[in-house]
Copies of this chain bind each other. A is one copy, B any other.
Amino acid sequence: MDTKKQARLKARAQIIKAMAHPSRLLIIEELAEGERCVCELTDLVGADMSTVSKHLTVMKNAGIVEDDKRGQQVFYKLRCPCIMDFFGCIERVLKARTEY
Protein backbone atom coordinates (compact mmCIF):
# COMPACT_ATOMS: atom_id res chain seq x y z
CA MET A 1 0.00 0.00 0.00
CA ASP A 2 1.42 3.37 -0.96
CA THR A 3 2.22 6.13 1.47
CA LYS A 4 -0.45 8.36 0.03
CA LYS A 5 -3.22 5.90 0.71
CA GLN A 6 -1.83 5.34 4.17
CA ALA A 7 -1.93 9.06 4.87
CA ARG A 8 -5.47 9.32 3.59
CA LEU A 9 -6.62 6.49 5.83
CA LYS A 10 -4.93 8.08 8.78
CA ALA A 11 -6.58 11.42 8.09
CA ARG A 12 -9.97 9.77 7.82
CA ALA A 13 -9.40 7.86 11.02
CA GLN A 14 -8.53 11.06 12.82
CA ILE A 15 -11.83 12.62 11.84
CA ILE A 16 -13.82 9.57 12.81
CA LYS A 17 -11.94 9.23 16.07
CA ALA A 18 -12.80 12.81 16.88
CA MET A 19 -16.46 11.76 16.89
CA ALA A 20 -15.99 8.51 18.77
CA HIS A 21 -16.88 9.64 22.26
CA PRO A 22 -20.28 9.99 23.93
CA SER A 23 -19.75 13.58 25.06
CA ARG A 24 -18.51 14.60 21.65
CA LEU A 25 -21.51 13.01 19.97
CA LEU A 26 -23.75 14.95 22.33
CA ILE A 27 -21.93 18.14 21.45
CA ILE A 28 -22.23 17.42 17.74
CA GLU A 29 -25.97 16.86 18.07
CA GLU A 30 -26.30 20.12 19.94
CA LEU A 31 -24.23 22.06 17.42
CA ALA A 32 -26.42 20.69 14.66
CA GLU A 33 -29.09 22.99 16.12
CA GLY A 34 -26.83 26.02 15.88
CA GLU A 35 -23.70 27.52 17.38
CA ARG A 36 -23.12 27.34 21.12
CA CYS A 37 -20.58 28.81 23.51
CA VAL A 38 -18.32 26.62 25.63
CA CYS A 39 -20.29 27.38 28.79
CA GLU A 40 -23.53 26.17 27.22
CA LEU A 41 -21.88 22.96 26.08
CA THR A 42 -20.35 22.53 29.52
CA ASP A 43 -23.79 22.68 31.11
CA LEU A 44 -25.07 20.23 28.54
CA VAL A 45 -22.31 17.68 28.99
CA GLY A 46 -22.03 18.06 32.73
CA ALA A 47 -18.26 17.76 32.95
CA ASP A 48 -15.52 20.14 33.89
CA MET A 49 -15.20 23.05 31.49
CA SER A 50 -11.58 22.17 30.84
CA THR A 51 -12.68 18.71 29.79
CA VAL A 52 -15.26 20.10 27.38
CA SER A 53 -12.74 22.56 26.03
CA LYS A 54 -10.38 19.70 25.27
CA HIS A 55 -13.11 17.76 23.51
CA LEU A 56 -13.77 20.81 21.38
CA THR A 57 -10.08 21.15 20.59
CA VAL A 58 -9.97 17.56 19.38
CA MET A 59 -12.93 18.16 17.08
CA LYS A 60 -11.52 21.45 15.90
CA ASN A 61 -8.19 19.86 15.01
CA ALA A 62 -10.05 17.20 13.08
CA GLY A 63 -11.92 19.87 11.14
CA ILE A 64 -15.35 18.94 12.43
CA VAL A 65 -16.09 22.19 14.22
CA GLU A 66 -14.82 25.74 14.03
CA ASP A 67 -14.67 28.39 16.71
CA ASP A 68 -15.40 32.05 16.75
CA LYS A 69 -14.40 34.21 19.65
CA ARG A 70 -16.77 37.07 20.35
CA GLY A 71 -16.05 39.06 23.46
CA GLN A 72 -15.14 36.76 26.27
CA GLN A 73 -17.05 33.85 24.83
CA VAL A 74 -16.02 31.33 22.23
CA PHE A 75 -18.74 29.98 20.00
CA TYR A 76 -18.41 26.65 18.26
CA LYS A 77 -20.33 25.39 15.28
CA LEU A 78 -20.34 22.40 12.96
CA ARG A 79 -18.17 22.76 9.92
CA CYS A 80 -19.76 19.98 7.84
CA PRO A 81 -23.32 19.31 8.94
CA CYS A 82 -23.30 16.25 6.67
CA ILE A 83 -21.82 14.62 9.73
CA MET A 84 -25.36 14.30 10.99
CA ASP A 85 -26.13 11.89 8.17
CA PHE A 86 -23.96 9.39 9.98
CA PHE A 87 -26.41 8.80 12.72
CA GLY A 88 -29.05 7.24 10.50
CA CYS A 89 -26.64 4.49 9.55
CA ILE A 90 -25.35 4.13 13.09
CA GLU A 91 -28.88 3.56 14.30
CA ARG A 92 -29.33 0.94 11.62
CA VAL A 93 -26.23 -0.87 12.87
CA LEU A 94 -27.61 -0.72 16.39
CA LYS A 95 -30.95 -2.03 15.26
CA ALA A 96 -29.38 -4.88 13.31
CA ARG A 97 -27.38 -5.66 16.42
CA THR A 98 -30.42 -6.08 18.63
CA GLU A 99 -32.13 -8.20 16.01
CA TYR A 100 -29.23 -10.55 16.04
A: residues with CB less than 8 A from B are 1, 6, 9-13, 15-17, 19-26, 44, 46, 62-64, 79-80, 82-83, 85-94, 96-97, 100
Contacts and interface: CB of A to CB of B under 8 A. Distances in A.
Interface-centre pick from A12, A26, A63, A85 (highest chain B CB count, 10 A)? A12
A19 B12 CA distance: 10
A13 to B, nearest CB: 5
Contacts of A82: 88-89, 92
Total copies of the chain: 2
Given A1-B46, A86-B89, A89-B80, A17 B15 contact: no
A89 B80 CA distance: 8
A1 to B, nearest CB: 7
Contacts of A17: 17, 20-21
Nearest to A1: B46
A100 B62 CA distance: 12
A76 to B, nearest CB: 15
